Structure 1
Amino acid sequence: MSFSIQGKTAIITGAATGIGHAIARHFLDEGANVVFSDQNEKRLKSNCDDLASSENCRLFVGDLREKLAVANLLSTTLDAFDRVDVLINATRSFMLTDPLDAADDSVETLLDQNLNVALRTSQAVARRMILQAEQEDEKPQEAGTIINISSIAAHRTQPQLMGFSISNAALEQMTRSMGVALAPHAIRVNAIAVGSLMSGTLRDTIAEHPEYRDSIIQGTPLHRIGTASEVAELAQFLASGASAFMTGQVMTLDGGRSVLDTVQRPAH
């Protein structure tokens, strides 16, 4: 069983910071060609400054809500590496929702950013993967892999997170649907649903509300907060031949938080 991604070409969106950046760095370290994609040019260039001389790395700046940006992302990848083998949709936007405010457009905004961007990018990349497979002398066992980064919020109910939860639930259904649709083309589609990870945003929240850290740990059976590097390692598994018989699946990485029932039965 091989976890190698050596020589594969991967596009990773949301790669300026957080999970996307950790995955992109990890894939680069594991010998993949990596396109770091993000719409925040300043942050992307700042966090990737040390990679400027790498032959196996390219930076792409663009708002993937625009169809032209998706096309340009794919062109940048092909110009640099001639092909694409892996797409990781790690663009994640977060905002609170007021479920009773008719003027609150957060649900619409998050569906566009967390679902539609992943859908359009996946469709464009999948078409290229299919074309690559058709150009091979023999039909490959695997034409490509697509990995979506979701959240356990998709299955938990917190009204103020309604927009975020809905967009992630939709992303997971997209994963299952595209997993089936692309299976005849030897393209696998899976997702990783993450719990609380120690990111810049979470650090800021904990700094302002120290009790929040204890709340997370108490609600997590493994009694700690996860790291982006752990997501990166799971993404490598899903991009490698070790997961060759997996598609349409959502793997949960949350320290057991999503399986914990916080309402305990009284002791007798």
Structure 2
Amino acid sequence: MSFSIAGKTAIVTGAAHGVGLAIARAMVEAGANVVFVDRDEAALERETSVLREADGPVRHFAGDLRERLTITNLLSFTVDAFDRIDILVNAARQVRVSDPLDHEDDSVERLLDQNLMSALRLSQAAAKRMIKQAEPDSTAPLGSIINLSSIAARLAHPELLGYSVSCAALDQMTRSMAVALAPKRIRVNAVAFGSVMSASLKQSLSEHDEIREAILHCTPLGRIASASEVSDAVQYLASDASAFVTGQVITVDGGRSLIDPSHVAAH
């Protein structure tokens, strides 16, 4: 079975920075038509200009996906550019520190809107487009939706209450949407990851050596993932190689979420 996504059209949100950018770049390199989406228009222009100069089939779209009109405009923009939508990667995520005991802290509500509801609304709209563009009497797969989640969804981090809750909800959304869209031949999966060597993490590690030591100590594979290792998992789920995989949350964390903290402390 082929891992190819050549010729397919993908929308990747959160594509101006970090893991989202790595995923979008990898899809362009794999021969897909890719729409880079983010609120940071300057960064989008900077990142896509080089790819366009190399004749890469890329476009960029800036907007706030919490707004329903933005989602409508994004889908119209993508179809106008590439005629169809085959892959959606919901990679736009926000992390905020929460105070679980502060009843005036609205971070849970904000992160549910950003990390869950925008992904849900965009997935619903993209799925409708995928169904609409289906060829009559065809039994071929119609599309793949991939959500980026986190191992925080299954671990207790009180200071990341809003983020953890939004990721847990995103995982459940993934499973529910997978069942709902399976009869329409659209697959929905997620990739949950732990620490990835992003620019922000590099900055933290340069300032706090103890963070690196703590991460490595809790990770059986003994290292921090590269963004490409997350993008590889996403490409697998986007391709026909995963044609019988749906409703799954694939974990890319080097085994970190498997470890009992008491075991780590004892060693």
- TM-score for the superposition, normalised by structure 1: 0.96
Query: Shift of residue 266 of structure 1?
Result: 11
Distance 2:264 2:210 in 1: 25
Query: Shift of residue 264 of structure 1?
Result: 2.6
Q: Is the counterpart of residue 155 in structure 1 residue 154 in structure 2?
A: yes
Deviates more, 1:190-199 or 1:48-57: 48-57
**Partner of 2:36 in structure 1?**
36
Distance 2:6 2:217 in 1: 39
Distance 2:34 2:139 in 1: 22
Could you tell me which amino acid in structure 1 is paired with residue 230 of structure 2? Answer: V
Query: Shift of residue 106 of structure 1?
Result: 0.6
Q: Is the counterpart of residue 221 in structure 1 residue 220 in structure 2?
A: yes
Distance 2:253 2:243 in 1: 23
Distance 2:228 2:264 in 1: 36
Aligned-residue identity in percent: 58
RMSD over aligned Cα atoms: 1.4
Deviation per residue, 1:67-87 (Å, 9 max, x gap): 111011101100010000000
DSSP 3-state at the match of 1:264: helix
**Residues 79-118 of structure 1: matches in 2 within 5 Å?**
79-118=80-119
DSSP 3-state at the match of 2:93: coil
**Partner of 1:21 in structure 2?**
21
Could you tell me which amino acid in structure 2 is paired with residue 255 of structure 1? Answer: G
Deviation per residue, 1:28-56 (Å, 9 max, x gap): 00000000000111121122231233351
Whether the 8 Å CA contact 2:37–2:60 is kept in 1: the answer is yes
Query: Shift of residue 138 of structure 1?
Result: 2.4
Distance 2:47 2:136 in 1: 40
Distance 2:160 2:240 in 1: 36
Distance 1:72 1:37 in 2: 12
Distance 2:78 2:133 in 1: 14
Which consecutive residues of structure 1, in runs of 5 or more, have no partner in the other structure?
none
Which consecutive residues of structure 2, in runs of 5 or more, have no partner in the other structure?
none
Distance 1:241 1:129 in 2: 16
**Partner of 1:46 in structure 2?**
46
What count of residue pairs does the alignment treat as equivalent?
A: 265
- TM-score for the superposition, normalised by structure 2: 0.96
**Partner of 1:188 in structure 2?**
187
Distance 1:202 1:55 in 2: 29
Query: Shift of residue 265 of structure 1?
Result: 9.8
**Partner of 1:234 in structure 2?**
233
**Partner of 1:137 in structure 2?**
136
Q: Is the counterpart of residue 210 in structure 1 residue 209 in structure 2?
A: yes
Distance 1:262 1:102 in 2: 29
**Partner of 1:175 in structure 2?**
174
Q: Is the counterpart of residue 64 in structure 1 residue 61 in structure 2?
A: no
Decide whether aligned partners of structure 1 residues 141 and 207 sit closer, same or farther in structure 2, where only a CA change above 3 A counts. same
Deviation per residue, 1:87-132 (Å, 9 max, x gap): 0000010110001111111101110100011001000000000111
Decide whether aligned partners of structure 1 residues 24 and 265 sit closer, same or farther in structure 2, where only a CA change above 3 A counts. closer
Decide whether aligned partners of structure 1 residues 207 and 266 sit closer, same or farther in structure 2, where only a CA change above 3 A counts. closer
Query: Shift of residue 25 of structure 1?
Result: 0.3
**Residues 236-255 of structure 1: matches in 2 within 5 Å?**
236-255=235-254
DSSP 3-state at the match of 1:145: strand
Runs of 4+ in 1 over 6 A off after TM superposition: none
Distance 1:21 1:66 in 2: 22
Could you tell me which amino acid in structure 1 is paired with residue 127 of structure 2? Answer: A
